[in-house]
Amino acid sequence: MDVKQCQGEGAQGNSRQLLVGVVCFSCLWVLGAVIAYTSFQAELIHVMATYLSPDGEISSPRYTFAKFTLAPVLFALWVVLSAVTYRIWSFPRPFAFWYLAFFVVHFLFYSYYLRIVLQGADPEDTLLEWGTFVLALLGGVIFLICGYMGSRFSIFLGLAWLLFAFEEISWGQRVLGIETPDVMVQYNYQEELNFHNLINPIQKYLYVPFNAAFLCFFTWFRRIEILSWVYRMNGVPRIIQVSDRYGLWMMPMLWIFASFYPGAEYVEEQWGLYGLVLSVLLYRDMRRNP
């Protein structure tokens, strides 16, 4: 048995032990949280309203309790996923500091703006939402330029980010003074001219699996044989190459569970930024290596 094989088996053993530890912790934590909620429900709601809600009110105690219960479990799973992913997939270490630094700075700014400037008010039509729109719009346009330069998959990404950008501002409904159509008033959760609120309130549960798929597209899905056709599509290999060069899979890994805290709006800002960063780096690579 050679050294590399021994190291590989040792790494698998460590990962297995870490996963077992996380599972045991998760079971004990959930059991304790359920017992506490059934025994001290009023006190727990008061604590959650005081320390977890920006405006000091809990509109949905059960959902907030679910977040409170699942957050440590998801964080523990995130630690395992991050450790295993970082161990298997190469990452240029000089970029790690900058990714972490930006993530923290963005988190602090978001928290400050939401709690101090907005004082817990809805971030609709504020700097947060319009910043997301601008980032996603720029990313979508640059992706389309990359598509014009020959990367067909970039056309799909460009349309996806443009759709995301205009959905974020409800297609300019409030800016242009467009009234909400009757069908949207009836079926749209916020009675707005957009499509993503048609699936509310279940939308808030989709952030985690979507972010996980985001991460896995650049890493783990590449090992699944049945998905190999995706990575042979025109433009995908170059995008993966750019991601590997700059370790872009680190970004979705950092905000994979961020929809629980600091929140969905924060994740959407990260999506907008990610599209801009990836599109710019892809454009730069295509210019240098036609």
Round to whole Å and give the CA distance between 157 and 177. Answer: 29
Please report, in tens digits, the pLDDT of each residue of the chain (290 residues total): 444 444 444 455 566 776 677 778 777 877 887 787 777 777 777 777 777 665 566 667 777 777 777 777 777 888 888 888 888 887 787 787 888 888 889 889 988 888 888 876 777 778 888 999 999 999 999 999 999 999 999 999 999 999 999 998 888 888 888 888 877 777 777 778 877 777 766 777 788 889 989 999 999 999 999 999 999 999 999 999 999 999 898 888 888 888 877 888 899 999 999 999 999 999 999 999 88
Q: How distant, in Å, are the alpha carbons of 98, 120, 122, 127, 269 from that of 113?
A: 22, 9, 11, 9, 13
Whether residues 107 and 232 share a domain: the answer is yes
Which pLDDT belongs to residue 166? 94
Whether residues 246 and 146 share a domain: the answer is yes
Whether residues 84 and 99 share a domain: the answer is no
Range of the domain at 57: 1-88
Last residue of a domain, one of 42, 69, 88: 88
Copy the structure tokens of residue 240. Answer: 């993966």
Which pLDDT belongs to residue 53? 65
Q: pTM score, two decimals?
A: 0.80
Based on the structure, what is the number of domains in the chain?
2
Q: Give me the phi and psi of 277, to 5 degrees please.
A: -65, -50
Question: Which residues, at least 6 apart from 163, have a Cβ–Cβ distance to it below 8 Å?
Answer: 140
What secondary structure does DSSP assign to 169-195, as a single string?
Answer: TGGGHHHHTPPPPHHHHHH-TT--S-S
Q: Given the structure tokens 């359920």, which residue do they identify? A: 34
Whether residues 147 and 278 share a domain: the answer is yes
Whether residues 110 and 218 share a domain: the answer is yes
Last residue of a domain, one of 46, 64, 88: 88
Nearest-10 crossing angle of helices 236-246, 152-168: 70
Whether residues 135 and 72 share a domain: the answer is no
Which pLDDT belongs to residue 6? 45
Residue 282: count other Cβ atoms within 10 Å of its Cβ. Answer: 25
Amino acid at 234: N
Whether residues 127 and 9 share a domain: the answer is no
Last residue of a domain, one of 65, 88, 111: 88
* Cα angle for residues 99, 103, 50 (degrees, 5° grid): 160
Which pLDDT belongs to residue 204? 75
- CA-wise closest residue to 254 among 244, 241, 267: 267
Whether residues 137 and 58 share a domain: the answer is no
Whether residues 30 and 103 share a domain: the answer is no
pLDDT digits over 209-223, tens only? Answer: 899 899 999 999 999
Instruction: Give start and end residues of each alpha helix (H) in 40-92.
Output: 41-51, 61-88
DSSP assignment letter at 290: -
- CA-wise closest residue to 204 among 160, 249, 265: 265
DSSP assignment letter at 60: -
pLDDT digits over 17-58, tens only? Answer: 766 777 787 778 778 877 877 777 777 777 777 776 655 666
Whether residues 48 and 153 share a domain: the answer is no
Round to whole Å and give the CA distance between 220 and 211. Answer: 13
Whether residues 233 and 115 share a domain: the answer is yes
Amino acid at 150: G
Round to whole Å and give the CA distance between 84 and 87. Answer: 5
Nearest-10 crossing angle of helices 3-39, 61-88: 170
Whether residues 108 and 73 share a domain: the answer is no
